[in-house]
């Protein structure tokens, strides 16, 4: 499940809405909505995000968060390491091979390191 899929499922759960009800309301099939929630489809379009936000009457700040979650929820990530040192390519490939086996605390540690590394000093 992607971060967006999880957030969408939570929105539905809080409002007591089934996948079929939401799918009918926003003009998609229940199968597509299920695949979106389970991370088997790529990012939703901006238009679809607007329909979802409108359906749930999501306020602007929460809509921005939902849109950001959608942006970071592509289930099949491609990393372009061309032009980078060999160690970067090796690391990206190794991560791709082992990511499914990493426990949550390791993912959290890596995320913390990436956040620190990308924050301007």
Tens digit of pLDDT for each residue in 63-121? 888 888 888 777 677 888 999 999 999 999 899 899 999 999 999 999 999 999 988 76
Other C-beta atoms lying within 10 Å of the C-beta of residue 102: 12
* Residue 76 placed within a domain: no
Q: What CA–CA distances, in Å, run from 80 to 83, 84, 87, 93?
A: 9, 9, 13, 11
pTM: 0.66
Residue 43 has pLDDT above 90, yes or no: no
Residues in the chain: 121
39 and 94, same domain (yes or no) = no
Short-list 70, 75, 72, 69, CA closest to 99: 75
> Can you give the pLDDT at residue 41?
84
Taking the C-alpha atoms of residue 70 and residue 44, their distance in angstroms, rounded to an integer, is 7
46 and 98, same domain (yes or no) = no
The domain tally of the chain equals 2
56 and 93, same domain (yes or no) = no
55 and 21, same domain (yes or no) = yes
* Residue 77 placed within a domain: no
The residue-averaged pLDDT of 36-48 equals 87
Q: What CA–CA distances, in Å, run from 97 to 33, 79, 91, 101?
A: 28, 13, 10, 9
* Residue 28 placed within a domain: yes
The residue-averaged pLDDT of 44-48 equals 90
10 and 65, same domain (yes or no) = yes
3-state helix, strand, coil in the chain (%, to 5): 70, 0, 30
The CATH number that applies at residue 52 is 1.10.260.40
* Residue 78 placed within a domain: no
> Can you give the pLDDT at residue 71?
80
Contact between 44 and 70 under an 8 Å Cβ cutoff? The reply is yes
Domain containing 104 equals: 86-118
């Amino acid at each position: 499940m992607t971060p967006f899929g999880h957030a969408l499922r939570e929105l539905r759960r809080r409002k007591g809405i089934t996948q079929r009800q939401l799918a009918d309301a926003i003009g998609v099939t229940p199968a597509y909505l299920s695949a979106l929630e389970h991370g088997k489809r790529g990012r939703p379009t901006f238009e679809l995000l607007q329909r979802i936000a409108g359906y749930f009457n999501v306020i602007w700040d929460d809509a921005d968060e939902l849109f950001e979650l959608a942006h970071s929820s592509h289930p099949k990530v491609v990393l372009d390491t061309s032009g980078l040192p060999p160690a970067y390519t090796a690391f990206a490939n190794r991560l791709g091979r082992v990511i499914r086996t990493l426990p949550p605390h390791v993912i959290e540690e890596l995320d913390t390191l990436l956040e620190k590394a990308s924050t301007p000093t």
